[in-house]
C-alpha cells in the first residue's frame, strides 16, 4: 500500500494544497450558510454556524495534512 511509504511527491502535493484549501473551506461554509439563510429566512444564525463549520473543515484538513507529514517524517 502507498500508505506505508508515501513518496516525497505525494507529501509535497498535499502540503501545497494547505493554503488554498483553508480559504476555500471557509468561503464554502460561508456560502452554504448564506444560501440556507436566504432560503429558510433565519437571517444571521445559519451563516454564523456554517462559517464556523467551514473554518473547522479548513483546520481539519490542515491538521490532517500536517499529521500525515509528521508521521512519515519521523
Interacting residue ranges for another protein, rule: CB under 8 A = 1-3, 7, 9-10, 13-14, 16-17, 20-21, 24-25, 27-29, 32, 50, 53-54, 56-58, 60-61, 64, 67-68
Taking the complex as a whole, the smallest distance from the CB of residue 52 to another protein amounts, in Å, to 10
Backbone angles phi, psi at 41, to 5 degrees: 95, 25
| Least CB distance to another protein at residue 28 (A) | 5
Residue 62's nearest CA partner among 20, 7, 1, 34 is 20
CB of 38 to another protein, least distance (A): 18
H helix intervals, 3-42: 8-16, 18-40
57 close to 50: Cβ distance less than 8 angstroms? no
Amino acid at each position: 500500500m502507498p500508505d506505508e511509504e508515501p513518496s516525497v511527491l505525494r507529501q509535497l502535493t498535499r502540503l501545497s494544497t494547505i493554503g488554498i484549501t483553508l480559504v476555500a473551506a471557509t468561503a464554502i461554509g460561508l456560502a452554504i450558510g448564506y444560501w440556507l439563510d436566504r432560503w429558510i429566512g433565519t437571517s444571521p444564525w445559519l451563516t454564523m454556524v456554517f462559517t464556523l463549520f467551514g473554518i473547522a473543515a479548513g483546520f481539519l484538513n490542515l491538521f490532517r495534512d500536517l499529521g500525515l507529514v509528521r508521521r512519515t517524517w519521523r
